């Protein structure tokens, strides 16, 4: 056999062995926790919910870690604490995540509950990945060889810095690995708590000042035009528009979603009242107008009381 032929055979064999080794390594790599962690990250950015669920046990993580949100709940708010304990916050978080994967954006909710606000403060919607710090199988003398620990660096604006989140993984029957828990999420929440409270107080105090100024202007207007005629309606509408413009210029923190929702409700109630008062000055009034006005005034008083309770609680925060 000629030397040239032997060289060609040698090269082919070397390439074959190299390809086989590469294929073997790739098959090995696909069964490592690092591969699964990277695939979870890729699925998140690709918006592939099915793939994301393959590598992340969302039900377990949201159920377990949502309990850490109790650190953000006022101990006197028994109803909100109960909603966290019974899984409502976890359900909201799951729904929000599914919406994100479907729409590539987080949901914008018109009606906000205290549990929605709490989920908003969790960092779920605002964190961003920085890097994978490490991902290693646990020592076999400490486990059965089917668990791993990883660390990812994330950034969250309210936290104001990078944070290394440590999590756990477990190998599945098909050899793939799945994220099953977060070990230090509670510390992360605790680190954000003070800043959440600081942002909430700053926002609520500004809102309270605007509301007080608006109430004083409306009171002066009513004293000047006690009959609440069409001119009163026009002037009151102008006052409220200016008030809303000032409120809209404020940045709403995650801890202020409930307050923001009440302010939007306040605006709607007020302009409905103005329409009704304008109609009350017409010669021919619609049937049931007085009942409508009574209902709107009741809603206005209820909204006003809720706003005062929230802003007063914010002023009492000692930070």
Q: What CATH number has the domain bearing residue 90? A: 3.10.450
The reply to whether 254 and 221 lie within a common domain is: yes
State the Cα–Cα distance between residues 159 and 198, nearest whole angstrom.
12
Domain boundary among 157, 183, 209: 183
Residue with tokens 């109960």: 82
Domain boundary among 156, 183, 210: 183
In this structure, are residues 229 and 281 in contact, taking their beta carbons and an 8 Å threshold? yes
Nearest to 34 by CA among 189, 196, 148: 148
In this structure, are residues 62 and 90 in contact, taking their beta carbons and an 8 Å threshold? yes
State the Cα–Cα distance between residues 212 and 217, nearest whole angstrom.
9
In this structure, are residues 113 and 132 in contact, taking their beta carbons and an 8 Å threshold? no
Q: Taking the complete model, does pTM exceed 0.75, yes or no? A: yes
Token output for 96: 């929000």
Around Cβ 128, how many Cβ atoms within 10 Å?
8
The reply to whether 179 and 200 lie within a common domain is: no
The reply to whether 83 and 167 lie within a common domain is: yes
Query: What is the rounded average pLDDT of the residues 95-119?
Result: 88
Q: What angle do CA 19, 20, 24 make, to 5 degrees?
A: 115
Domain boundary among 183, 216, 245: 183
Task: Report the domain count for the chain.
Answer: 2
Token output for 44: 């998140």
- The phi, psi pair for 161, rounded to 5°, reads -165, 170
In 245-259, which positions are buried (b, 16+ CB within 10 angstroms) versus exposed (e)? eebeebebbbbbbbb
Which range of residues forms the domain containing residue 129? Answer: 31-183
pLDDT for residue 12: 47
In this structure, are residues 75 and 99 in contact, taking their beta carbons and an 8 Å threshold? no
Q: Is residue 263 part of a domain?
A: yes
Q: Give me the residues paired with residue 171 across strands.
A: 177
Confidence of residue 29 (pLDDT cuts 50, 70, 90): low
Confidence of residue 139 (pLDDT cuts 50, 70, 90): confident
The DSSP output letter for 70 is G
What is the SS3 assignment for 142?
A: coil
What is the SS3 assignment for 161?
A: strand
The reply to whether 142 and 207 lie within a common domain is: no
The reply to whether 47 and 85 lie within a common domain is: yes
Q: Is residue 105 part of a domain?
A: yes
Higher pLDDT, 162 or 108: 162
Higher pLDDT, 319 or 93: 93
Higher pLDDT, 115 or 12: 115
């Amino acid at each position: 056999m000629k030397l040239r032929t032997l060289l060609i055979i040698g090269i082919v064999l070397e390439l074959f062995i190299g390809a086989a080794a590469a294929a073997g390594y790739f098959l090995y790599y696909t069964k490592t926790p690092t591969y699964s962690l990277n695939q979870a990250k890729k699925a998140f950015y690709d918006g592939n919910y099915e793939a994301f669920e393959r590598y992340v046990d969302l039900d377990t993580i949201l159920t377990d870690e949502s309990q850490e949100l109790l650190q953000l709940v006022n101990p006197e708010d028994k109803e909100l604490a109960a909603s966290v304990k019974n899984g409502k916050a976890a359900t909201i978080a799951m729904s929000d995540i599914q919406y994100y994967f479907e729409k590539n954006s987080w949901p914008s909710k018109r009606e906000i509950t205290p549990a929605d606000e709490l989920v908003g403060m969790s960092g779920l919607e605002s964190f961003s990945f920085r890097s994978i710090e490490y991902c290693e199988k646990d020592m076999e003398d400490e486990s059965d060889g089917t668990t791993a620990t990883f660390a990812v660096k994330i950034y969250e604006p309210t936290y104001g810095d990078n944070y290394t989140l440590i999590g756990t993984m477990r190998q599945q029957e098909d050899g793939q690995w799945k994220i099953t828990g977060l070990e230090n999420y509670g510390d992360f929440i605790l680190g954000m708590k003070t800043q959440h409270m600081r942002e909430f107080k700053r926002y609520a105090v500004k809102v309270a000042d605007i509301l007080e100024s608006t109430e004083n202007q409306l009171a002066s207007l009513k004293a000047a035009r006690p009959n609440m005629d069409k001119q009163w309606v026009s002037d009151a509408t102008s006052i409220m528009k200016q008030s809303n413009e000032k409120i809209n210029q404020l940045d709403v923190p995650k801890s202020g979603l409930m307050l923001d929702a009440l302010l939007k409700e306040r605006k709607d109630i007020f302009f409905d009242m103005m329409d009704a008062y304008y109609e009350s000055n017409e010669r021919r009034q619609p049937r049931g107008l007085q009942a409508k006005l009574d209902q709107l005034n009741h809603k206005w008083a209820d909204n006003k009381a809720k706003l005062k309770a929230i802003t007063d609680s914010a002023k009492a925060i000692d930070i």
